[in-house]
Each structure stands twice: as C-alpha cells, then as structure tokens.
Amino acid sequence: MALSEEQAQLKELAAKATKQIISPIVEKDEEEGIFRREVIAELGKLGLTGIPTPAEYDGAGLGYLEYTLALEEIATASVAYAVSVAVSGLPQIILNLFGSKEQKEKYVPPLARGEHIGAFSLSESHSGSDAASLKTRAVKRGNEYILNGTKLWTTQGNVADTAIVFARTGAEGARGVSAFIVEKGTPGFRAGKLEHKMGINISPTCELILEDVKVPSSNLVGQEGMGFRIAMTALDSGRITIGASAVGLGRAALEYCVQYARGRKQFDQAIIDFQGIQFMLADMYTSLEASRLLVRQAATLKDLGKPFTREAAAAKLFATDSTMRITTDAVQVLGGVGYTKEYPVERYMREAKVMQIVEGTNQIQRLVIGRSLSS
Amino acid sequence: MWFFTEEHKLLKKSVRDFAQSVLGPKIDELDEKEGYDRTYFTKMADLGLLGITTAEEYGGTQMGCVAATIAMEELGAVDASTALSYLAHTILTVNNIATSASDAQKKKYLPKLVSGEWIGGMGMTEPGAGSDALAMRTRAEKKGKKYILNGSKMFITNAVMGDVFYVYARTGDGRKDISTFIVESSFPGFKMGKKLKKMGMRASPTGELIFENCEVPAENLVGQEGGSVAHMLKNLDIERITISGISLGIARASIETAVKYAKERSQFGRPIADFQMIQAMLADAQAAYEAAAHYTYNIAKAWDEGLLDSNEASRASSAKVKLFAAPMATKVALDAIQILGGYGYIKEFPVERYMRDAKLVEIGAGTNEMLRVITARSMLGDL
C-alpha cells in the first residue's frame, strides 16, 4: 500500500522517536513496571499524541491512517506506550465528536500536546463485555452530578489527568448510561489497586474508585443517556489503534526471528535455510501483511467518513489473533533462548495476549461482525 | 484411562493430594520470585515417586512409564515447574543410571537419588548444540585414572540446586563419539554457571554447567567409551512420553479453571457458559485434552508392555506423542485466558502461568520442529 510523502515522513519520525525515546528504557521498565509521563510528553512535542485531533485543538489534524502508521512504529518497541497513546486518544476522539466547544477547548489541547494523559473508564467487575450493565451511578443535584461506584481495568487511570467515566443516570440498560469528564484530583476520585499482569507492565491498569465525586454538569458529555453510544463509537475507533499496535508487535517479532534464524547454525547450516523454519516465517509474514492491510482499510474508511464498524472489528480480530500466533512462533523459532528473558520474544508473546482481550474481547469482535452480517 | 490399575489409581490420588496440599499453596510465590524448594524432593521420595521406574533393590518402586506419566500429570496440574524438575531428576537422571550404569554405579548413586538426599540433572544441550545435539563440543580426555572434562552445558534443568549430573561429552572426533559421565557438583573443576531468567517454569531452576578441567574418576564413565548415542536417544524417548504428562496436567487445570469461571461469570444476564462461543472453546479444549491423554497413556502403556520393541518404533511414537500434546496445552491455556478475559491476564488467576509454563514443553526435550523431522523420517525412510 503506497504511502504519500507526508505519510512516509510521519512514519519515519515515529520510528526515530521510538528508537530514541522508548527502545532504550523498555526492557528494564517492563520488568519493573515503570510508566514514564515524560515519554508521552516527548512524543507530544513531536506531534505524535494528537494525530487525528484537529489543528485548532493542537492536534496534527491528520487521519486515522496516519495514526496507525505512528502506533505501529511505537508498538515495535513497546505495546504499553502504543496503548498509552491510543488510550489518551480516546478522550480526544470522544470530545471531538460529542463534546461542547468549552469542553474541547479546555480538555483536548493538553491531551493532544502530550502534556496531559487521558483515560477511558467503562468496565466494572461484573460488567466487562456486557458494558451496558454497569452499576456506577451519577445522580444530578443542582449544577452537579454525584458519582459513586468502582471501575475496573482502567488503563493509566492512576496517572491520567482527564478521564472519561461512564456512569448510570437512568434506568437499567444501554440507554441509562452517560459519559462524564472527571479530572484528576477531584475529591472522592482515586485509583484503587493496581493489577499485577502477565505483560505490558509499563502500562498501569487499575481500579478507579468514585465516592461522592462531584462533577459539574458542564462535564456531562453530550446528553444524558448518550454514554453507551459514545463508548461504542470510541471503541470502534479504538479497535483500529489496537489493530495497528498488534501489527507493530508482530513486525518486531518477525524481524527478530529473521535476524536470529539467519545467524543461528545447527546441522552446519543457518536454521533459516530449513523449510520447517522458513515456512513458519512465511506464514508470519503473510498474516502480518494481511493484518496491516485490514487495519489500514478500516482507518481509510473512517477517514473517508464511511461506515467502518465491521471492518474495524475484523481488523482488530485478525491482527491480534495473527500477532498471538506470530509471537508464539517467534518463541518457537528461537527455541530455548526464546524462552529466557535475555531475548525479547517471550515478552512479545506475553504482550500479544492482552490485545486479544482489550477494546472488546475477540469474542465481542466476532459478535459485532456476525451481527452486522445477519442484519 | 480404562487400563489404569488399582495401583495407578492410588498413585494418581496420592500425587494429586500431595500436589494440592504441598505444592499448591506455594507455587504463586515461587513463580513470582523464581525460587525453588529442595525439600520437595524428599517429600516426593516419601511417596515413592523418585524411583518410579527403578528396581526395588535400589529403593525404587518400578511402577513404569504409565505411572511416571500419571505423576507428571498430577504434579503438572498444580505446579508444572516441580513436575519439570521431577522429570529431570527421575527420568533423565535416575532412570538413565538405572538403565545404563554398572551395578557399582547404581549402588553408589541410586539410593541417594531415590531418597531425595541428592538432586540430579542431565547435561546434553550446549549453547551451540541444541536440536543438533551430536554437535556437542564438551570434551572428555582420559588421563590416568581420571577423565578431564572441558566445556559447558546450557539450559540444564536442576542446575543451581543439583548434586549430581548425567553428562554427555565427546571422547572422539566422530559425530557419534559420545560418552557419558556421572559428575558430582563437588568434583574439582565443576562450576555452576548463571541461572537463567525465564518466561515460565520459573520454580524450576535452569542454568549452565561449566567444566574447567573437571576431574571425573574413570569409574564414573557409564558404559563404553564412545558408546552413548544409542542409550541417549532411548532415554529421550521415555522423556518425551512422560513430559507429555506435564502438558496434560496444564491443559486439564486450564480447562477446570475456565469451566468454573464460565459458570460463575455472568454477562448479558446469564452465565457466559451459556454462550455458544464459550462452549465451543471449552468443547474443543476438552476434546483435544482427551485425545492427547489417550494417545499419551496408550504409548506409555506400550512402553511398559515392551511393545515399542525397535528403536525406530520407540523414537517415532514418543516424538509424535509430544508433538501432539505440547502444542495442545499451549492452545488450551491461551483459550483459558481468553475465556477469563481481563481476569485471565492477571496474576490473581493461574491461567496466565499455565500459558507461560505450557510453552516450554514445545521447546524442551525436542522442539516441535525436530519431532516433525523424526516423525517424517520414520514415514519416509532415509532419503
């Protein structure tokens, strides 16, 4: 797929930034679980944290296709930071689409510049795939809403400056859900326990606890009852970004394997010369290329203003399943050393798994695709 | 399995009880810290597990390959790391010595190994000789009444904590000039290399063995000089059958966790177990587990009955069993994580460990790729 000169330059910029800013710190920080705000700030200075946000709100004013180019590059070094950029992008896309002028002016520019970090808080302990069953409540009192409840699995919830929190303002079901902008430091709003995960340990995942949190009515996004639609719209777009990140991770795994298989000799020849290895690499390459095309197709449809829900779900499903396979095989190509922490492929495999779960589990993607085919 | 004897059933129950009561409470912490517990060996000895394939005169119970595989499955369902360390000790060291060593060597080493006083391991792989094992470079040269060993062994299970190793080394320049030595870790010139940090099987130490003019008494040569290739391959066969038990255990535990979770977890107003997509994953996992279990125990039984009479039949059968069972466990564990969703990805549930542990069996004791080569050769002959 041919890129314009401008797109190629953006890709190059993201690749360079990734190598300089992220690659040197990622191994150790992953092991120790350290998230660095300054990484996001540095990426922000280069214009990489608000790619699809309009220029009037300090974004780059580019499309989702450009966004996928940058995320792919970042994910070659760190899925955690690619996810961080993508998650900071969710409040931006939500406010760009549904926010008031005042909300956009106040909250979007610092996010787009990478000075602020964003979060998207939908899931709860009993409400995962079935997001519309969430129980966190928002009750209107005068010019405020009072929020109470506990959210789960919020990426970077503990460091975010601006969180979009979904809470129930009405009856049970999807139509009773509303979206609120909640600022860090609002009394009663705090991060709960941090999850201890198998991978992407740079990216903190936490509970968010809301105890009588007073949010001004002006921080309601759109109208009461629009929350579920807002969440689903954001997730449609978010799936493209997770797909792009999966492509980056898969590419890193494939490149590492090729380099290793060329250098490793057994039975007096490089193992890349054995068909058993070559065919594995060929399958990895093919599924990676197909994934990238699906991701870019979904991004292009979105940029053209055409429906893209089904395509985004298919891209996320295919790219993350492919990357799980690619990274599992990458450990296999490296053999014993691939299983040790001295090589990055075991980390790639651990990181791949989360992408089949976030932004809608892959079961949910199948459901989205299946429903769109049956209606 | 329909052919399990009363003895097998009792063994299965006692190992399961041991694993759940002794290993279960500690595995999360050992996995987290990459720790290990030497006392597990004396406790397993009390259950008669360490000499499970060894004659009674050396303290063994001589129950055989089916029994060893049962023990692997039950240990593996709770703590695959300890199952792996048990394999390296009981199959790679004790069984090797019992099969190939002299009476004097057996009398000297087996009682201590079977009682768990000493922990054993096997040294074959080297940094430059993995799948191509016969390319090993560790060399043994005879000087008077000793052999002097030089070289290093890599990815050795039970390194770090082992007391005695069953070590292969080159005694000539031909590819098959391989000899075997029983090397105690206290011998002059023997050094433990670094411990490896791993993705999984973290409660089973893996490391390097270094021989720098290591002095091994000539009486510790096992069998004839240059005569080790045949028994080295034969021992890999029983290793591949029994290690498949670990894959069975991991898969079974993954399924048990996923079934329990799917029944308890409600979304869209009903247990997720009600959804066809979850049912399909569970059904595929169970069918794959049962197929692997029947296959593995069938071949183990054939081993015990002496039906794998030719080296070719033994090699190909054991290769195929592991080639089938090991990827099955990785797939089942990955799907178990998927069924648990976010909960599957965090350390509060065991399935993420199951996946990390399962992957090892696709690499150790012969990679999937080498097992395919062995299998194809058995079908196609020498081309």
Residues in chain B closer than 8 A to A131 (CB atoms): none
ipTM score of the complex?
0.90
Q: Does A372 lie at the interface with B, CB-CB under 8 angstroms?
A: no
Alpha carbon A281 to its chain centroid, in Å, reads 27
pLDDT by residue (tens digit) across A109-139? 999 999 999 999 999 999 999 999 999 999 9
Q: What is the pLDDT of residue B242?
A: 98
Looking at chain A, which residue has its C-alpha nearest residue B135?
A267
Mean model confidence pLDDT for chain A: 97
Q: Beta strands of chain A (E only): which ranges?
A: 118-121, 137-141, 144-155, 162-168, 177-183, 189-194, 205-216, 220-221, 265-266, 269-270
Q: What is the pLDDT of residue B317?
A: 96
Which residue of A128, A196, A362 is in closest CB contact with B346? Answer: A196
Choose among B302, B337, B299: nearest CA to B321: B299
Whether residue A335 and residue B363 make contact (CB cut-off 8 A), yes or no, is yes
pLDDT band (50, 70, 90) for residue A237: very high
Whether residue B199 and residue A335 make contact (CB cut-off 8 A), yes or no, is no
Radius of gyration of chain A measured on its C-alpha atoms: 21
Q: Does B132 lie at the interface with A, CB-CB under 8 angstroms?
A: yes
Looking at the DSSP bridge assignments, the partners of residue A118 are A162
CB neighbourhood size of A46 (10 A): 16
CB neighbourhood size of A78 (10 A): 29
Whether residue A328 and residue B359 make contact (CB cut-off 8 A), yes or no, is yes
Whether residue B368 and residue A332 make contact (CB cut-off 8 A), yes or no, is yes
For B233, what's the count of Cα atoms within 13 Å in the CB-facing half-sphere? 18
Whether residue B372 and residue A276 make contact (CB cut-off 8 A), yes or no, is yes
Residue A296 has what DSSP assignment?
Answer: H
DSSP state letters, B201-222: -TTS-EEEEEEEEEEEEGGGEE
Distance CA(B144)–CA(A91), nearest Å, equals 78
Looking at chain A, which residue has its C-alpha nearest residue B154?
A336
pLDDT band (50, 70, 90) for residue B264: very high
Which residue of B278, B346, B367 is in closest CB contact with A335? Answer: B367
Q: Does A28 lie at the interface with B, CB-CB under 8 angstroms?
A: no
Looking at chain B, which residue has its C-alpha nearest residue A267?
B132
- For residue B309, pLDDT over 80 is answered with no
CB neighbourhood size of A307 (10 A): 11
Choose among B63, B108, B101, B55: nearest CA to B242: B63
Residues in chain B closer than 8 A to A363 (CB atoms): 275, 277-278, 338
Q: Does A165 lie at the interface with B, CB-CB under 8 angstroms?
A: no
Q: Are B52 and B220 spatial neighbours (Cβ–Cβ below 8 Å)?
A: no
Q: What is the pLDDT of residue B311?
A: 82
Which of A207, A311, A346, A359 is labelled catalytic? A359
Q: Does B337 lie at the interface with A, CB-CB under 8 angstroms?
A: yes
Angle at A324 between CA A323 and CA A326, to 5 degrees: 60
pTM summary value: 0.94
Whether residue B131 and residue A335 make contact (CB cut-off 8 A), yes or no, is yes
Catalytic site residue B239?
yes
Looking at chain A, which residue has its C-alpha nearest residue B126?
A336
Place of tokens 């105690």: B184
pLDDT band (50, 70, 90) for residue A330: very high
Backbone angles phi, psi at B31, to 5 degrees: -65, -45
Distance CA(A81)–CA(A49), nearest Å, equals 11
User: Considering chain B, what percentage of its residues have pLDDT values greater than 90?
Assistant: 96
Whether residue A353 and residue B334 make contact (CB cut-off 8 A), yes or no, is yes
At B48, which amino acid appears? G
User: Considering chain A, what percentage of its residues have pLDDT values greater than 70?
Assistant: 100
Which residue of B128, B267, B346 is in closest CB contact with A129? Answer: B267
Residues in chain B closer than 8 A to A366 (CB atoms): 277
Q: What is the pLDDT of residue A278?
A: 96
Mean model confidence pLDDT for chain B: 96
Radius of gyration of chain B measured on its C-alpha atoms: 21
Whether residue A336 and residue B338 make contact (CB cut-off 8 A), yes or no, is no
pLDDT band (50, 70, 90) for residue B310: confident
pLDDT band (50, 70, 90) for residue B221: very high
Distances from the Cα of A57 to the Cα of A94, A107, A179, A183, A218, angstroms: 13, 9, 21, 19, 19
Looking at chain A, which residue has its C-alpha nearest residue B341?
A357
Give, to the nearest 10 degrees, the angle between helix A362-374 and helix B276-304. 130
At B364, which amino acid appears? G
Q: What is the pLDDT of residue A36?
A: 98
- To test the contact with chain B by mutation, choose from A266, A350, A358 the residue with the greatest count of B C-beta atoms within 10 A, namely A266
Distance CA(A45)–CA(B104), nearest Å, equals 74
A20: CB partners within 8 A, 6+ apart: none
Q: Does B344 lie at the interface with A, CB-CB under 8 angstroms?
A: yes
Give, to the nearest 10 degrees, the angle between helix A309-334 and helix A345-355. 160
* Pairing relationship of beta strands B164-170 and B120-123 according to DSSP bridges: parallel
- To test the contact with chain A by mutation, choose from B81, B157, B199, B349 the residue with the greatest count of A C-beta atoms within 10 A, namely B199
Shortest Cα–Cα distance, A125 to chain B (Å): 10
> How big is the A-B interface in CB pairs under 8 Å?
114
pLDDT band (50, 70, 90) for residue B383: confident
Place of tokens 């993201």: A14
Average pLDDT over residues A298-315: 98
Whether residue A133 and residue B267 make contact (CB cut-off 8 A), yes or no, is yes
Average pLDDT over residues B347-359: 98
- For residue A1, pLDDT over 80 is answered with no
Choose among B182, B130, B179, B189: nearest CA to B156: B130
- For residue B382, pLDDT over 90 is answered with no
Q: Calculate the CA dihedral of residues A70, A76, A79, A85 and round it to 10 degrees.
A: -20
Choose among B164, B274, B147: nearest CA to B214: B147
Q: Does B237 lie at the interface with A, CB-CB under 8 angstroms?
A: no
Q: What is the pLDDT of residue A82?
A: 98
B positions 274-293 inside 8 Å of A (CB)? 275, 277-278
Shortest Cα–Cα distance, A375 to chain B (Å): 19
Residues in chain B closer than 8 A to A367 (CB atoms): 277
Q: What is the pLDDT of residue B122?
A: 98
pLDDT band (50, 70, 90) for residue A80: very high
